[in-house]
Structure 1
Amino acid sequence: MPRFAANLTMMFNEVPFLDRFAEAASAGFAGVEFLFPYEWDAAAIAERLRASELTQVLFNMPPGDWAAGERGLACLPGREREFAAGVETAIAYARALDCRRVHAMAGLLAAATERERALDLYRRNLAMAASRLAEEGMALLIEPINTRDMPGYLLNHQREAHEIVADIGLPNLKVQMDFYHAQIMDGDLWRLFEAHQETVGHIQIASVPERHEPDGGEVNYPWLFGELDAAGYDGWLGCEYRPRGATRDGLGWFARQR
Protein backbone atom coordinates (compact mmCIF):
# COMPACT_ATOMS: atom_id res chain seq x y z
CA MET A 1 0.00 0.00 0.00
CA PRO A 2 1.36 3.47 -0.84
CA ARG A 3 2.48 5.66 2.05
CA PHE A 4 0.85 9.07 1.90
CA ALA A 5 2.32 12.27 3.37
CA ALA A 6 0.09 15.29 3.91
CA ASN A 7 1.49 18.52 2.53
CA LEU A 8 0.97 20.94 5.41
CA THR A 9 1.54 24.03 3.30
CA MET A 10 -1.57 23.21 1.27
CA MET A 11 -3.64 20.96 3.52
CA PHE A 12 -5.27 21.60 6.91
CA ASN A 13 -5.09 25.36 6.41
CA GLU A 14 -8.13 25.60 8.69
CA VAL A 15 -5.69 25.75 11.63
CA PRO A 16 -2.32 27.46 12.25
CA PHE A 17 0.74 25.71 10.82
CA LEU A 18 2.01 24.10 14.02
CA ASP A 19 -1.45 22.67 14.72
CA ARG A 20 -1.61 20.96 11.31
CA PHE A 21 0.64 18.12 12.45
CA ALA A 22 -1.93 16.84 14.94
CA GLU A 23 -4.68 17.30 12.34
CA ALA A 24 -2.76 15.23 9.80
CA ALA A 25 -2.09 12.45 12.31
CA SER A 26 -5.73 12.44 13.42
CA ALA A 27 -6.81 12.08 9.79
CA GLY A 28 -4.62 8.98 9.44
CA PHE A 29 -1.47 10.27 7.75
CA ALA A 30 1.84 8.75 8.83
CA GLY A 31 4.05 11.37 7.18
CA VAL A 32 4.08 15.07 6.35
CA GLU A 33 5.88 17.42 4.01
CA PHE A 34 5.74 21.18 3.48
CA LEU A 35 7.44 23.84 1.41
CA PHE A 36 9.49 25.83 3.93
CA PRO A 37 9.96 25.51 7.71
CA TYR A 38 12.11 28.59 8.23
CA GLU A 39 9.47 30.84 9.82
CA TRP A 40 9.34 28.47 12.78
CA ASP A 41 11.91 27.23 15.23
CA ALA A 42 13.12 23.76 14.29
CA ALA A 43 12.69 22.50 17.85
CA ALA A 44 9.03 23.56 17.87
CA ILE A 45 8.37 21.64 14.65
CA ALA A 46 10.27 18.62 15.94
CA GLU A 47 8.13 18.60 19.07
CA ARG A 48 4.93 18.54 16.98
CA LEU A 49 6.31 15.68 14.91
CA ARG A 50 7.16 13.65 18.02
CA ALA A 51 3.84 14.36 19.69
CA SER A 52 1.94 13.24 16.59
CA GLU A 53 4.26 10.32 15.78
CA LEU A 54 4.76 11.60 12.24
CA THR A 55 7.64 11.20 9.82
CA GLN A 56 8.98 14.38 8.21
CA VAL A 57 9.32 13.26 4.61
CA LEU A 58 10.53 16.34 2.72
CA PHE A 59 10.92 20.10 2.68
CA ASN A 60 12.57 22.69 0.43
CA MET A 61 15.85 24.50 0.84
CA PRO A 62 15.62 28.30 1.25
CA PRO A 63 14.36 29.67 -2.11
CA GLY A 64 15.68 33.22 -1.99
CA ASP A 65 13.15 36.05 -1.63
CA TRP A 66 9.90 34.15 -2.14
CA ALA A 67 7.72 37.20 -1.51
CA ALA A 68 9.57 39.08 -4.27
CA GLY A 69 8.98 36.23 -6.72
CA GLU A 70 12.19 34.21 -6.42
CA ARG A 71 11.70 30.47 -6.80
CA GLY A 72 15.08 29.02 -5.91
CA LEU A 73 18.73 30.00 -6.23
CA ALA A 74 20.48 27.03 -7.80
CA CYS A 75 20.64 28.45 -11.34
CA LEU A 76 21.15 32.12 -10.50
CA PRO A 77 24.60 33.60 -11.31
CA GLY A 78 26.14 35.51 -8.42
CA ARG A 79 24.06 33.75 -5.77
CA GLU A 80 26.37 30.80 -5.15
CA ARG A 81 27.30 31.80 -1.60
CA GLU A 82 23.66 32.29 -0.66
CA PHE A 83 22.80 28.90 -2.15
CA ALA A 84 25.61 27.25 -0.17
CA ALA A 85 24.43 28.95 3.02
CA GLY A 86 20.94 27.66 2.29
CA VAL A 87 22.29 24.13 2.09
CA GLU A 88 23.64 24.47 5.63
CA THR A 89 20.39 25.99 6.90
CA ALA A 90 18.40 23.13 5.38
CA ILE A 91 20.77 20.57 6.89
CA ALA A 92 20.31 22.09 10.35
CA TYR A 93 16.53 21.80 10.05
CA ALA A 94 16.72 18.32 8.52
CA ARG A 95 18.83 17.11 11.44
CA ALA A 96 16.35 18.52 13.94
CA LEU A 97 13.36 17.03 12.10
CA ASP A 98 15.06 13.71 11.28
CA CYS A 99 14.25 14.35 7.62
CA ARG A 100 16.21 12.42 4.98
CA ARG A 101 15.21 14.38 1.84
CA VAL A 102 15.64 18.04 0.90
CA HIS A 103 14.50 19.66 -2.34
CA ALA A 104 16.59 22.34 -4.06
CA MET A 105 14.45 24.58 -6.25
CA ALA A 106 16.21 25.47 -9.50
CA GLY A 107 15.00 29.05 -9.81
CA LEU A 108 13.70 31.21 -12.64
CA LEU A 109 15.96 31.74 -15.63
CA ALA A 110 17.50 35.17 -15.03
CA ALA A 111 17.09 37.88 -17.65
CA ALA A 112 20.02 38.05 -20.08
CA THR A 113 21.35 34.68 -18.87
CA GLU A 114 21.74 31.99 -21.50
CA ARG A 115 19.95 28.79 -20.63
CA GLU A 116 23.07 26.65 -21.07
CA ARG A 117 25.03 28.89 -18.70
CA ALA A 118 22.24 28.61 -16.12
CA LEU A 119 22.14 24.83 -16.52
CA ASP A 120 25.91 24.59 -16.06
CA LEU A 121 25.71 26.58 -12.82
CA TYR A 122 22.71 24.51 -11.74
CA ARG A 123 24.64 21.27 -12.20
CA ARG A 124 27.63 22.61 -10.25
CA ASN A 125 25.47 23.78 -7.38
CA LEU A 126 23.60 20.47 -7.29
CA ALA A 127 26.84 18.50 -7.22
CA MET A 128 28.10 20.58 -4.31
CA ALA A 129 24.81 20.31 -2.39
CA ALA A 130 24.39 16.57 -2.99
CA SER A 131 27.97 15.91 -1.86
CA ARG A 132 27.39 17.92 1.31
CA LEU A 133 24.07 16.19 2.05
CA ALA A 134 25.69 12.79 1.49
CA GLU A 135 27.94 13.55 4.47
CA GLU A 136 24.74 13.75 6.55
CA GLY A 137 23.15 10.63 5.07
CA MET A 138 20.56 12.74 3.26
CA ALA A 139 19.26 12.87 -0.32
CA LEU A 140 18.95 15.93 -2.53
CA LEU A 141 15.91 16.12 -4.79
CA ILE A 142 15.18 18.21 -7.88
CA GLU A 143 11.73 18.74 -9.38
CA PRO A 144 10.52 19.78 -12.82
CA ILE A 145 7.67 22.32 -12.52
CA ASN A 146 5.15 23.08 -15.24
CA THR A 147 5.34 26.30 -17.24
CA ARG A 148 1.71 27.21 -16.57
CA ASP A 149 2.01 27.43 -12.79
CA MET A 150 5.56 28.79 -12.74
CA PRO A 151 6.52 30.53 -16.01
CA GLY A 152 10.26 30.90 -16.49
CA TYR A 153 11.27 28.06 -14.15
CA LEU A 154 14.48 26.46 -15.37
CA LEU A 155 13.49 22.79 -15.09
CA ASN A 156 10.22 21.68 -16.69
CA HIS A 157 10.51 18.10 -17.96
CA GLN A 158 11.07 14.83 -16.15
CA ARG A 159 13.41 13.39 -18.77
CA GLU A 160 15.70 16.41 -18.54
CA ALA A 161 15.81 16.13 -14.75
CA HIS A 162 16.79 12.46 -14.89
CA GLU A 163 19.45 13.26 -17.48
CA ILE A 164 20.92 15.87 -15.13
CA VAL A 165 20.98 13.30 -12.30
CA ALA A 166 22.74 10.82 -14.58
CA ASP A 167 25.27 13.46 -15.69
CA ILE A 168 26.18 14.36 -12.10
CA GLY A 169 26.31 10.72 -11.08
CA LEU A 170 25.88 11.02 -7.32
CA PRO A 171 23.73 8.26 -5.79
CA ASN A 172 21.93 10.54 -3.33
CA LEU A 173 20.73 12.92 -6.06
CA LYS A 174 17.18 12.00 -7.10
CA VAL A 175 14.13 13.44 -8.87
CA GLN A 176 10.73 14.33 -7.48
CA MET A 177 8.15 12.99 -9.88
CA ASP A 178 5.15 15.21 -9.21
CA PHE A 179 2.42 13.58 -11.29
CA TYR A 180 0.55 16.90 -11.47
CA HIS A 181 3.43 18.75 -13.13
CA ALA A 182 4.44 15.71 -15.19
CA GLN A 183 0.95 15.21 -16.62
CA ILE A 184 0.82 18.85 -17.76
CA MET A 185 4.31 18.83 -19.30
CA ASP A 186 4.94 15.23 -20.37
CA GLY A 187 1.91 12.94 -20.03
CA ASP A 188 2.22 9.14 -20.38
CA LEU A 189 2.77 9.01 -16.62
CA TRP A 190 3.17 5.30 -16.09
CA ARG A 191 5.70 4.81 -18.88
CA LEU A 192 7.52 7.89 -17.59
CA PHE A 193 7.78 6.33 -14.14
CA GLU A 194 8.83 2.95 -15.53
CA ALA A 195 11.61 4.54 -17.55
CA HIS A 196 13.06 6.40 -14.58
CA GLN A 197 12.07 4.43 -11.48
CA GLU A 198 15.64 4.01 -10.26
CA THR A 199 16.18 7.77 -9.92
CA VAL A 200 12.73 8.71 -8.59
CA GLY A 201 13.25 9.80 -5.00
CA HIS A 202 9.75 11.02 -4.18
CA ILE A 203 6.31 11.23 -5.79
CA GLN A 204 3.68 13.93 -5.37
CA ILE A 205 0.04 13.83 -6.40
CA ALA A 206 -2.86 16.17 -7.24
CA SER A 207 -5.69 16.17 -9.74
CA VAL A 208 -5.15 17.71 -13.17
CA PRO A 209 -5.93 20.38 -14.26
CA GLU A 210 -7.19 21.99 -11.01
CA ARG A 211 -4.66 20.64 -8.49
CA HIS A 212 -7.34 19.44 -6.09
CA GLU A 213 -7.81 16.07 -4.37
CA PRO A 214 -6.56 13.10 -6.44
CA ASP A 215 -10.06 11.76 -7.03
CA GLY A 216 -10.96 13.12 -10.46
CA GLY A 217 -9.73 14.97 -13.51
CA GLU A 218 -7.35 13.59 -16.12
CA VAL A 219 -5.34 11.15 -14.00
CA ASN A 220 -6.61 7.75 -12.82
CA TYR A 221 -4.91 7.74 -9.45
CA PRO A 222 -6.42 4.53 -8.03
CA TRP A 223 -4.93 2.66 -10.98
CA LEU A 224 -1.56 4.41 -10.56
CA PHE A 225 -1.46 3.57 -6.85
CA GLY A 226 -1.96 -0.11 -7.66
CA GLU A 227 0.74 -0.04 -10.33
CA LEU A 228 3.20 1.66 -7.98
CA ASP A 229 2.61 -1.10 -5.43
CA ALA A 230 3.09 -3.78 -8.07
CA ALA A 231 6.32 -2.12 -9.25
CA GLY A 232 7.75 -2.17 -5.73
CA TYR A 233 7.79 1.59 -5.15
CA ASP A 234 8.35 1.93 -1.42
CA GLY A 235 8.71 5.70 -1.13
CA TRP A 236 6.21 8.30 -0.03
CA LEU A 237 3.45 9.97 -2.03
CA GLY A 238 3.23 13.63 -1.06
CA CYS A 239 -0.30 15.03 -1.21
CA GLU A 240 0.60 18.43 -2.63
CA TYR A 241 -2.88 19.55 -3.56
CA ARG A 242 -5.27 22.40 -2.78
CA PRO A 243 -8.41 21.02 -1.11
CA ARG A 244 -11.66 22.07 -2.79
CA GLY A 245 -13.09 22.99 0.61
CA ALA A 246 -12.32 21.93 4.17
CA THR A 247 -9.44 19.45 4.10
CA ARG A 248 -11.24 16.70 6.00
CA ASP A 249 -14.29 16.94 3.75
CA GLY A 250 -12.14 15.95 0.78
CA LEU A 251 -10.41 12.91 2.30
CA GLY A 252 -12.79 10.29 0.93
CA TRP A 253 -10.13 9.24 -1.60
CA PHE A 254 -7.67 8.70 1.26
CA ALA A 255 -10.14 6.63 3.31
CA ARG A 256 -10.57 4.30 0.32
CA GLN A 257 -6.80 3.86 0.01
CA ARG A 258 -6.38 3.13 3.69
Structure 2
Amino acid sequence: MKLSLTTWSLRGLTLDEAAGFSRVLGIGALDLGYFYKPGLDREALIADPDGMAERVLKLGVALPNLYHLFGGSLSDRNLADPRHRAQNEADFRQVVHFARSAGLGSVFVLPGVVNPGQDRAAALVESAESLRRLVAIAAPEGIQLTIEPHVHSYLESPTLVLDLLDRVPGLELVLDYAHFVCLGYRQEEIDVLAPHAAHVHLRQARMGVLQCKLSLGTLNFPAMLGTLRAAGYDGYLAIEYVHQDYMDGLHDDVLTETIDMRDCVREWLA
Protein backbone atom coordinates (compact mmCIF):
# COMPACT_ATOMS: atom_id res chain seq x y z
CA MET A 1 0.00 0.00 0.00
CA LYS A 2 1.17 3.51 -0.86
CA LEU A 3 0.18 6.99 0.30
CA SER A 4 -1.23 9.82 -1.79
CA LEU A 5 -2.52 13.33 -1.18
CA THR A 6 -5.55 14.97 -2.81
CA THR A 7 -5.53 18.32 -4.58
CA TRP A 8 -8.73 19.38 -2.80
CA SER A 9 -6.96 19.06 0.55
CA LEU A 10 -4.42 21.68 -0.53
CA ARG A 11 -6.84 24.38 -1.55
CA GLY A 12 -4.46 27.35 -1.31
CA LEU A 13 -1.62 25.87 -3.35
CA THR A 14 -1.15 25.87 -7.09
CA LEU A 15 -1.15 22.47 -8.78
CA ASP A 16 2.63 22.55 -9.09
CA GLU A 17 2.98 23.52 -5.43
CA ALA A 18 0.65 20.68 -4.41
CA ALA A 19 2.84 18.20 -6.30
CA GLY A 20 5.93 19.70 -4.68
CA PHE A 21 4.33 19.47 -1.24
CA SER A 22 3.60 15.78 -1.84
CA ARG A 23 7.26 15.23 -2.67
CA VAL A 24 8.42 17.21 0.38
CA LEU A 25 6.33 14.94 2.63
CA GLY A 26 7.97 11.90 1.05
CA ILE A 27 4.69 10.76 -0.53
CA GLY A 28 5.16 11.59 -4.19
CA ALA A 29 1.59 10.92 -5.35
CA LEU A 30 -1.38 13.22 -5.91
CA ASP A 31 -5.06 12.54 -6.60
CA LEU A 32 -6.54 15.04 -9.03
CA GLY A 33 -9.85 16.92 -8.88
CA TYR A 34 -11.57 20.09 -10.05
CA PHE A 35 -11.75 22.07 -6.82
CA TYR A 36 -9.98 25.12 -5.42
CA LYS A 37 -6.69 26.58 -6.61
CA PRO A 38 -4.89 23.32 -7.55
CA GLY A 39 -7.94 21.88 -9.28
CA LEU A 40 -7.97 21.03 -12.97
CA ASP A 41 -10.29 22.99 -15.28
CA ARG A 42 -13.01 20.45 -16.04
CA GLU A 43 -14.17 22.11 -19.26
CA ALA A 44 -10.59 22.40 -20.51
CA LEU A 45 -9.98 18.73 -19.73
CA ILE A 46 -13.10 17.67 -21.64
CA ALA A 47 -12.24 19.89 -24.59
CA ASP A 48 -8.57 18.81 -24.80
CA PRO A 49 -7.83 15.67 -22.77
CA ASP A 50 -4.42 15.13 -24.35
CA GLY A 51 -3.37 18.70 -23.60
CA MET A 52 -4.43 18.34 -19.97
CA ALA A 53 -2.65 15.00 -19.74
CA GLU A 54 0.55 16.61 -20.99
CA ARG A 55 0.16 19.28 -18.30
CA VAL A 56 -0.22 16.89 -15.37
CA LEU A 57 2.51 14.50 -16.52
CA LYS A 58 4.97 17.36 -16.00
CA LEU A 59 4.17 17.39 -12.25
CA GLY A 60 6.67 14.62 -11.60
CA VAL A 61 4.50 12.67 -9.14
CA ALA A 62 2.35 9.55 -9.42
CA LEU A 63 -1.28 10.27 -10.36
CA PRO A 64 -3.43 7.48 -8.94
CA ASN A 65 -6.97 8.80 -9.37
CA LEU A 66 -9.20 11.56 -10.75
CA TYR A 67 -12.34 12.75 -8.95
CA HIS A 68 -14.77 13.63 -11.73
CA LEU A 69 -17.94 15.57 -10.89
CA PHE A 70 -20.39 15.78 -13.79
CA GLY A 71 -22.12 18.99 -12.70
CA GLY A 72 -21.56 21.87 -10.35
CA SER A 73 -22.88 20.25 -7.16
CA LEU A 74 -23.70 16.87 -5.62
CA SER A 75 -27.13 16.92 -7.27
CA ASP A 76 -26.41 18.63 -10.59
CA ARG A 77 -26.35 16.01 -13.39
CA ASN A 78 -26.13 13.25 -10.76
CA LEU A 79 -26.15 9.62 -11.88
CA ALA A 80 -29.53 8.79 -10.35
CA ASP A 81 -31.19 11.31 -12.69
CA PRO A 82 -31.62 9.64 -16.12
CA ARG A 83 -32.19 12.93 -17.94
CA HIS A 84 -28.45 13.60 -18.15
CA ARG A 85 -27.10 10.23 -19.27
CA ALA A 86 -26.21 11.21 -22.83
CA GLN A 87 -24.33 14.34 -21.76
CA ASN A 88 -22.62 12.55 -18.89
CA GLU A 89 -21.48 9.71 -21.14
CA ALA A 90 -20.11 12.12 -23.75
CA ASP A 91 -18.09 13.96 -21.09
CA PHE A 92 -16.95 10.70 -19.53
CA ARG A 93 -15.46 9.46 -22.80
CA GLN A 94 -13.19 12.51 -22.75
CA VAL A 95 -12.37 11.95 -19.07
CA VAL A 96 -11.36 8.36 -19.80
CA HIS A 97 -9.23 9.56 -22.72
CA PHE A 98 -7.46 11.94 -20.32
CA ALA A 99 -6.99 9.25 -17.68
CA ARG A 100 -5.46 6.84 -20.17
CA SER A 101 -3.14 9.50 -21.63
CA ALA A 102 -2.02 10.64 -18.17
CA GLY A 103 -1.46 7.12 -16.87
CA LEU A 104 -4.12 7.21 -14.16
CA GLY A 105 -5.41 3.88 -12.95
CA SER A 106 -8.89 4.95 -11.92
CA VAL A 107 -11.57 7.62 -12.01
CA PHE A 108 -14.09 8.12 -9.25
CA VAL A 109 -17.55 9.58 -9.52
CA LEU A 110 -20.37 10.03 -7.04
CA PRO A 111 -23.30 7.59 -7.11
CA GLY A 112 -26.09 10.18 -7.09
CA VAL A 113 -28.75 11.47 -4.73
CA VAL A 114 -32.44 10.85 -4.08
CA ASN A 115 -33.98 13.14 -6.69
CA PRO A 116 -37.50 14.63 -6.53
CA GLY A 117 -40.10 11.88 -6.86
CA GLN A 118 -37.61 9.11 -6.04
CA ASP A 119 -36.94 6.91 -3.06
CA ARG A 120 -33.63 5.16 -2.38
CA ALA A 121 -34.62 2.06 -4.34
CA ALA A 122 -35.55 4.07 -7.44
CA ALA A 123 -32.36 6.12 -7.20
CA LEU A 124 -30.30 2.94 -6.99
CA VAL A 125 -31.96 1.48 -10.10
CA GLU A 126 -31.30 4.63 -12.15
CA SER A 127 -27.76 5.01 -10.84
CA ALA A 128 -26.96 1.37 -11.63
CA GLU A 129 -28.03 1.85 -15.23
CA SER A 130 -25.89 4.98 -15.55
CA LEU A 131 -22.91 3.24 -14.00
CA ARG A 132 -23.19 0.17 -16.23
CA ARG A 133 -22.87 2.48 -19.23
CA LEU A 134 -19.87 4.25 -17.73
CA VAL A 135 -18.11 0.96 -16.94
CA ALA A 136 -18.60 0.01 -20.59
CA ILE A 137 -16.73 3.19 -21.57
CA ALA A 138 -13.91 2.89 -19.02
CA ALA A 139 -13.12 -0.81 -18.92
CA PRO A 140 -12.02 -1.27 -22.57
CA GLU A 141 -9.52 1.57 -22.06
CA GLY A 142 -8.01 -0.04 -18.97
CA ILE A 143 -9.48 2.54 -16.57
CA GLN A 144 -11.15 1.37 -13.38
CA LEU A 145 -14.44 3.17 -12.66
CA THR A 146 -15.05 3.70 -8.95
CA ILE A 147 -17.73 5.35 -6.85
CA GLU A 148 -17.51 6.85 -3.38
CA PRO A 149 -20.54 6.18 -1.15
CA HIS A 150 -21.03 9.40 0.78
CA VAL A 151 -23.23 11.27 3.23
CA HIS A 152 -26.25 12.85 1.44
CA SER A 153 -26.15 10.37 -1.45
CA TYR A 154 -28.76 7.64 -1.82
CA LEU A 155 -25.94 5.19 -1.01
CA GLU A 156 -25.56 5.56 2.75
CA SER A 157 -25.32 1.97 4.01
CA PRO A 158 -22.96 -0.94 3.37
CA THR A 159 -25.95 -3.10 2.42
CA LEU A 160 -27.02 -0.71 -0.34
CA VAL A 161 -23.44 -0.50 -1.58
CA LEU A 162 -23.22 -4.28 -1.94
CA ASP A 163 -26.57 -4.27 -3.75
CA LEU A 164 -25.30 -1.69 -6.23
CA LEU A 165 -22.05 -3.59 -6.83
CA ASP A 166 -24.04 -6.74 -7.58
CA ARG A 167 -25.98 -4.81 -10.23
CA VAL A 168 -22.91 -3.25 -11.91
CA PRO A 169 -20.21 -5.80 -12.79
CA GLY A 170 -16.79 -4.21 -12.99
CA LEU A 171 -17.60 -1.32 -10.64
CA GLU A 172 -15.38 -0.85 -7.58
CA LEU A 173 -15.16 1.57 -4.67
CA VAL A 174 -13.27 4.57 -3.43
CA LEU A 175 -13.69 3.51 0.18
CA ASP A 176 -13.86 6.20 2.85
CA TYR A 177 -14.83 4.69 6.19
CA ALA A 178 -15.49 8.19 7.55
CA HIS A 179 -18.74 8.60 5.61
CA PHE A 180 -20.20 5.49 7.24
CA VAL A 181 -18.83 6.13 10.73
CA CYS A 182 -20.37 9.61 10.58
CA LEU A 183 -23.75 7.96 9.95
CA GLY A 184 -23.38 5.65 12.94
CA TYR A 185 -22.03 2.42 11.46
CA ARG A 186 -19.45 0.46 13.43
CA GLN A 187 -16.12 -0.12 11.76
CA GLU A 188 -16.68 -3.88 11.55
CA GLU A 189 -19.92 -3.24 9.64
CA ILE A 190 -17.95 -1.29 7.03
CA ASP A 191 -15.21 -3.92 6.71
CA VAL A 192 -17.38 -5.98 4.32
CA LEU A 193 -16.65 -3.34 1.65
CA ALA A 194 -12.86 -3.74 1.81
CA PRO A 195 -12.71 -6.48 -0.86
CA HIS A 196 -14.35 -4.06 -3.31
CA ALA A 197 -11.92 -1.15 -2.76
CA ALA A 198 -9.90 0.10 -5.73
CA HIS A 199 -8.83 3.31 -3.94
CA VAL A 200 -9.05 4.44 -0.30
CA HIS A 201 -9.50 7.80 1.42
CA LEU A 202 -8.16 8.30 4.95
CA ARG A 203 -9.34 10.72 7.62
CA GLN A 204 -10.52 10.33 11.17
CA ALA A 205 -14.23 10.54 12.07
CA ARG A 206 -16.80 9.71 14.72
CA MET A 207 -20.58 9.45 14.86
CA GLY A 208 -22.09 12.70 13.55
CA VAL A 209 -18.69 14.13 12.57
CA LEU A 210 -17.30 13.38 9.11
CA GLN A 211 -13.80 14.71 9.89
CA CYS A 212 -11.95 15.22 13.13
CA LYS A 213 -8.47 15.17 14.61
CA LEU A 214 -6.76 11.79 14.61
CA SER A 215 -6.85 11.70 18.40
CA LEU A 216 -10.56 12.55 18.68
CA GLY A 217 -12.22 9.99 16.41
CA THR A 218 -13.27 6.35 16.66
CA LEU A 219 -11.69 4.82 13.55
CA ASN A 220 -9.03 2.25 14.39
CA PHE A 221 -6.57 2.73 11.53
CA PRO A 222 -4.25 -0.21 12.27
CA ALA A 223 -7.33 -2.46 12.24
CA MET A 224 -8.54 -0.85 8.99
CA LEU A 225 -5.18 -1.30 7.30
CA GLY A 226 -5.09 -4.91 8.44
CA THR A 227 -8.56 -5.50 6.99
CA LEU A 228 -7.52 -3.98 3.68
CA ARG A 229 -4.36 -6.07 3.51
CA ALA A 230 -6.29 -9.24 4.36
CA ALA A 231 -8.69 -8.39 1.50
CA GLY A 232 -5.74 -8.20 -0.90
CA TYR A 233 -5.66 -4.43 -1.23
CA ASP A 234 -2.29 -3.04 -2.31
CA GLY A 235 -3.30 0.29 -3.87
CA TYR A 236 -3.15 3.91 -2.77
CA LEU A 237 -4.28 5.38 0.55
CA ALA A 238 -5.15 9.03 -0.12
CA ILE A 239 -5.01 11.26 2.95
CA GLU A 240 -8.10 13.47 2.59
CA TYR A 241 -8.20 16.06 5.34
CA VAL A 242 -10.00 19.13 3.96
CA HIS A 243 -10.97 22.68 4.84
CA GLN A 244 -14.45 23.12 3.38
CA ASP A 245 -17.98 23.86 4.50
CA TYR A 246 -19.38 20.43 3.53
CA MET A 247 -20.33 18.63 6.75
CA ASP A 248 -18.63 21.40 8.78
CA GLY A 249 -15.12 20.42 7.73
CA LEU A 250 -13.66 23.78 8.74
CA HIS A 251 -11.99 23.18 12.08
CA ASP A 252 -8.92 21.00 11.61
CA ASP A 253 -5.34 21.90 10.78
CA VAL A 254 -5.02 20.10 7.45
CA LEU A 255 -1.22 20.16 7.49
CA THR A 256 -0.89 18.74 11.01
CA GLU A 257 -3.54 16.07 10.52
CA THR A 258 -2.08 15.07 7.15
CA ILE A 259 1.35 14.55 8.70
CA ASP A 260 -0.11 12.68 11.69
CA MET A 261 -2.02 10.36 9.36
CA ARG A 262 1.08 9.86 7.22
CA ASP A 263 3.04 8.84 10.29
CA CYS A 264 0.24 6.56 11.54
CA VAL A 265 0.24 4.66 8.23
CA ARG A 266 4.01 4.53 7.99
CA GLU A 267 4.29 3.11 11.51
CA TRP A 268 1.85 0.32 10.67
CA LEU A 269 3.44 -0.46 7.29
CA ALA A 270 6.89 -0.63 8.89
TM-score band w.r.t. shorter chain:
0.7 to 0.9
Gaps of 5+ in 2: 35-39, 244-251
Percentage identity across paired residues of the two chains: 16
Secondary structure of 2:142's aligned partner: coil
Q: Which has the higher relative contact order, 1 or 2, with Cα contacts under 8 A spaced 6 or more apart?
A: 1
In angstroms, what is the RMSD of aligned CA positions?
2.7
Is 2:195–2:233's contact at 8 Å kept on the other side of the alignment?
no
Gaps of 5+ in 1: none
Deviations 1:223-243 (A, max 9, x none): 433443455421211212126
Secondary structure of 1:80's aligned partner: helix
Deviations 1:96-146 (A, max 9, x none): 321121112122322123443332221111111101111101111122112
1:27 matched to 2:30: no
Deviations 1:33-56 (A, max 9, x none): 13333346554565444442x221
Is 2:2–2:235's contact at 8 Å kept on the other side of the alignment?
yes
Match of 1:196 among 188, 193, 201: 193
Query: TM-score if structure 2 supplies the norm length?
Result: 0.78
Equivalent residue runs for 1:1-258 within 5 Å: 2-10=1-9, 12-36=10-34, 37-39=40-42, 43=51, 46-52=54-60, 54-66=61-73, 70=75, 73-146=78-151, 150=152, 153-168=153-168, 170=169, 172-185=170-183, 187-190=185-188, 192-193=190-191, 195-208=192-205, 209=209, 211-212=211-212, 214-229=214-229, 231-242=231-242, 244-245=252-253, 247=255, 250-258=258-266
Change (3 A) 1:256 1:165: closer
Q: Residue 91 of structure 1: CA displacement?
A: 0.9
Is 1:3–1:30's contact at 8 Å kept on the other side of the alignment?
no
Deviations 1:37-92 (A, max 9, x none): 3346554565444442x2211122332123xx635521113111122122113212
Distance 1:212 1:30 in 2: 25
Secondary structure of 1:233's aligned partner: coil
Q: Counting helix residues as a fraction of each chain, which structure ranks higher?
A: 2
Which region of structure 1 is more displaced relative to structure 2, 31-40 or 176-185?
A: 31-40
Secondary structure of 1:228's aligned partner: helix
Q: Residue 20 of structure 1: CA displacement?
A: 0.7
Query: TM-score if structure 1 supplies the norm length?
Result: 0.81
Paired residue total: 245
Distance 1:46 1:23 in 2: 20
